[in-house]
A and B are shown apart, each in its own frame.
Chain A
């Protein structure tokens, strides 16, 4: 995973609550076996509307998405994160995120900046007045700034998530440092717990 310290660039505002993962990437796009190539599927149903924000000039350069509360609710599909990243987004700012989406984002290196409702509203208003404004999401400082308008806010991000993003760490690598503890734990598991061994994979 690539380290992320700061995301700077254009932002688009998608002012809707409860944006679910079926909107972010509809199921029909999930048939790929790679982690890449999901950008064209991002909000594909909404993008059929010419007035949709992502169809406006400059939106294809945006790096930051600003959305309503409970962003990413629904399915556990990490493809939603990959689609946002493939389109070019590196950070999402919202008043709240669904739990699984948030975990997936951190795992894949997408910044989920949880800001209060007033911050999100103020950012929306500033960008409505000037859609070209640059927004800066600083992971190290946990701040959001709009240098062109002098606005500055803070956002919430758990310490561990912040550290992971800043270091670009691979979780598995960190966990394997505890391999000894895992082996020890396994020795203590009750014998009745189910196991599927021996493997079966016959046709029927």
Chain B
């Protein structure tokens, strides 16, 4: 035992390590959604197999659900078919489903933690790459493909070669106005989109410890954008306070036993990692992406970079291509770039804390009349809690559309999309070509910057709006 969080969680889930085969890892929680599961259930049934642990499997509908009038008929027949399949599969196999219309429905990575299903030291998988989000609790959580979904349904285990362990340590204190989103975009800019390939990242250091659970989830969520399979943060009092009293959290004597166990998970002093990166929090700024991968970002105070400023020829070509796709000219100040659309939501930034951050910028202000602005809460519960605080009224008064929970414009499956050539400021996690609709141009930002940008009509920080409203 090397005393690292990752090894401790890995070790306690090893079912078998057969000679010549990857180890077999037990899965504590399997989250399922409508898009990556139908073929897995079909495969299972064709082979005459059953779901081994329906009680450790939880399903919801998020990827292609309508976010406008979700109670109404679903106009997209293909999406309706995927949802009907999920319902039928869950009924046939006795799996808990939080369907569209349910008070607990929402983006799969928002509802797991919210229900207390995600706990320290667990293994969590889902047919979705942003499963890394759950690592914020000190769980080992990663995305899997549909064949693996079928494997977990049938066996409650997964075959996995052990990844390497990487440490990303962020020392010091975040400067004012720098959010968890800026922090993780800063990390990805530093390590590159494949800097974490083959590893599980543990985020460490004072700046990470100071984040609340929403911020930690934002950071772990984007681990995959740095190429890592998973991201983890050692559980501490912040984690325990978040979990206490949730629907699936342990209670009474079991809570005490769980706490003792969770306290033993943290990486021990002096443990070595296969790769280590150190970042000084003081060097971080509020950032905006300018390109077509999440590593291509600059400070809001900066300009669109020159492709020639990138060392390797491959990176220069990639930057050139990205700028062409994004319709940007090197040297343009980021603040001079106008947007048509602002999207606040997703499993990266669709939690109550994110909506509060955006609403605090919007109070008493109006969205620019050149901008279409939508806010999509990460779950039905986030929506209800936001409404109980009156946040919906702040958004609506500012000129935002107040939608129902789902993935929505994060991936544009449900018809919430950018038109070709449209430019968005988005709180989601991927600025790939066409991610928010064919020809759409996505810039990733924090919720606070998204709100300020909606008001200004071009990239802006909340500070830029002072005295200007």
- By a beta-carbon cutoff of 8 Å, the part of chain A in contact with chain B is 16-18, 20, 22-23, 26-28, 30-35, 45, 68-70, 73-79, 81, 96, 98-100, 103-104, 107-108, 158-160, 163, 170-172, 174-176, 178-179, 181-182, 185-186, 189-197, 199-204
The reply to whether A16 and B318 contact each other, CB–CB distance below 8 Å, is yes
B94: which of A31, A100, A186, A199 is its contact (CB, 8 Å)?
Answer: A199
The reply to whether B227 and A99 contact each other, CB–CB distance below 8 Å, is yes
A201: which of B56, B96, B131 is its contact (CB, 8 Å)?
Answer: B96
The reply to whether A31 and B79 contact each other, CB–CB distance below 8 Å, is yes
Contact with A along B85-128 (1 / 0, CB 8 A): 10100110011111101110000000000001101001000011
Query: Is B270's beta carbon under 8 Å from chain A?
Result: no
Complex Cα gap A193–B398 (Å)? 44
B119: which of A16, A18, A159, A194 is its contact (CB, 8 Å)?
Answer: A194
- Distance between B9 CB and nearest chain A CB, rounded to angstroms: 13
- Distance between A204 CB and nearest chain B CB, rounded to angstroms: 5
Which interface class (under 10, 10 to 19, 20 to 34, 35 or more) fits B? 35 or more
Query: Is B204's beta carbon under 8 Å from chain A?
Result: no
The reply to whether A77 and B36 contact each other, CB–CB distance below 8 Å, is yes
The reply to whether B145 and A103 contact each other, CB–CB distance below 8 Å, is yes
B156: which of A68, A79, A182 is its contact (CB, 8 Å)?
Answer: A182
Given A27-B412, A96-B197, A99-B227; A204-B101 close (CB under 8 Å): yes
Query: Is B413's beta carbon under 8 Å from chain A?
Result: yes
Question: Which one of A27, A100, A193, A202 has the highest number of Cβ atoms from chain B below 10 Å of its Cβ?
Answer: A27
- Distance between A181 CB and nearest chain B CB, rounded to angstroms: 5
The reply to whether A196 and B430 contact each other, CB–CB distance below 8 Å, is no
The reply to whether B227 and A73 contact each other, CB–CB distance below 8 Å, is yes
- By a beta-carbon cutoff of 8 Å, the part of chain B in contact with chain A is 15-16, 18, 20-22, 24, 26, 28-29, 35-36, 38-39, 42, 47, 49, 52, 54-58, 63-64, 76, 78-79, 81-82, 85, 87, 90-91, 94-99, 101-103, 116-117, 119, 122, 127-129, 131, 142-148, 150-151, 154-157, 159, 161, 163, 193-194, 197-198, 224, 227, 229, 248-250, 254-255, 257-258, 261, 293, 314-315, 318, 321, 411-413, 430, 432-435, 438-439
B144: which of A31, A68, A100 is its contact (CB, 8 Å)?
Answer: A100
- Distance between B12 CB and nearest chain A CB, rounded to angstroms: 9
A31: which of B26, B47, B78, B433 is its contact (CB, 8 Å)?
Answer: B78
A76: which of B28, B39, B78, B129 is its contact (CB, 8 Å)?
Answer: B129
Chain B, residue nearest A176 (CB):
B155
Complex Cα gap A117–B263 (Å)? 45
The reply to whether A96 and B194 contact each other, CB–CB distance below 8 Å, is yes
Given A20-B432, A31-B79, A201-B90; A182-B119 close (CB under 8 Å): no
Given contact pairs A30-B35, A33-B42, a sample of 14 additional A-B residue pairs in the complex whose CB atoms are under 8 Å apart: A18-B293, A20-B432, A76-B127, A78-B145, A100-B144, A104-B146, A175-B157, A178-B15, A179-B155, A192-B250, A192-B254, A196-B117, A201-B91, A204-B102
Give the chain A neighbours of B155 by CB distance below 8 A: 172, 175-176, 179, 182
- Distance between B295 CB and nearest chain A CB, rounded to angstroms: 9
